[in-house]
Structure 1
């Protein structure tokens, strides 16, 4: 898959900004997520392709603030070279550098952590290790509290666990987790419809 294919998969023109890439991926990933389309292999393949395209684009498209920061650091180094030949300017540049790269490095680390955790979450769900899945996604949500994608994963995990609890006839506990799913991601229409169907199953059993 080349970069052109990645942009096309996400419905974007080549050279789209980091913010556009992220927004488009979030929208499409929600639409084609396997948990939302459990019996649709085409949707699953589409979701995998979208995720691969998104990850590849992340390696070449920097967030706007990171790109601007890199430019500033580079400009600062060039300016220091033209005024060197004395020890003092060199010392100044060395003292400034350790603090400068931290924001982009932190962003990278958080992004890597997020996707590593997502992969582990999927394994837990496939293996039906639901308590571990919930503990994992809640820890990630605490760390990345403003990330809408993580909040969506958390809500879907609650819903999957709630559905499993219905099958195990733990109806009161199932109701608690289904309500938590709606509360965690209240604007997710696809999730709302799925949870309503689960509540209907509950009513029929009661």
Structure 2
């Protein structure tokens, strides 16, 4: 299910806020819940779709909002990680912010790739990985390393393929590369 489908299932316009998504989910879940509609297979199927759409949007939407500066974001509710891993994740997020702030991209890449290997199913970690790859790609564009920049932009899109904002920014970066260095050779 893509993001447009998620909004459609929740009867929302594309680009609705996280608060709107939560409100629509609660309203529709009350309407289609199996306990309210015992024996109604279509209501049961609709309820499952609602849950899937809600889970996907609540994983993706926080990426479109600025991250809080004082505290690390809470882990996604669907990811069963230990208390140690939660603490590791929070500490890593704070460290990653510092590395990116001071453009220590080598350290940021090492940190985020290590965290991604430790928590491969965590959507937030994949988002951080994608952002780090994109930041590094932009530095490579400034350093006149177009092919390596393209490679890291592709890695960013692969790390977080459902992030529309990332795709839009990456498209701008690819256009910049094309304008400055010409089209990438076909492989």
TM-score by length of 2: 0.61
Larger gyration radius, structure 1 or structure 2: 1
- Is the 1:141–1:154 Cα contact (8 Å) retained in structure 2? yes
Q: Which has the higher contact order (CA 8 A, sep 6+)?
A: 2
How far does residue 157 in structure 1 lie from its aligned partner after superposition?
Answer: 0.5
Q: Give the match for residue 98 of structure 1.
A: none
| Structure with a larger share of its residues in helix | 1
How far does residue 111 in structure 1 lie from its aligned partner after superposition?
Answer: 0.6
In 2: Cα distance, 1:31 partner to 1:199 partner: 20
The number of residue pairs the alignment matches comes to 133
- 4+ aligned runs moved over 6 Å, structure 1: 22-25
1:195 aligns with 2:165: no
Q: 1:120 to 1:188 in 2, by over 3 A?
A: same
In 2: Cα distance, 1:201 partner to 1:173 partner: 14
Q: Give the match for residue 153 of structure 1.
A: 128
SS at match of 2:68: helix
- Is the 2:89–2:115 Cα contact (8 Å) retained in structure 1? yes
Q: Give the match for residue 63 of structure 2.
A: 30
Which of 143, 147, 150 does residue 175 from structure 1 map onto? 150
SS at match of 2:161: coil
Q: 1:175 to 1:27 in 2, by over 3 A?
A: closer
5+ residue gaps in structure 2? 1-17, 27-54, 182-187
How far does residue 113 in structure 1 lie from its aligned partner after superposition?
Answer: 0.5
TM-score by length of 1: 0.55
Could you report, residue by residue, the CA deviation over 1:14-59 in whole angstroms, capped at 9, with x for unpaired residues?
xx9xxxxx988644421113xxxxxxxxxxxxx328x85965xx8x
RMSD: 3.3
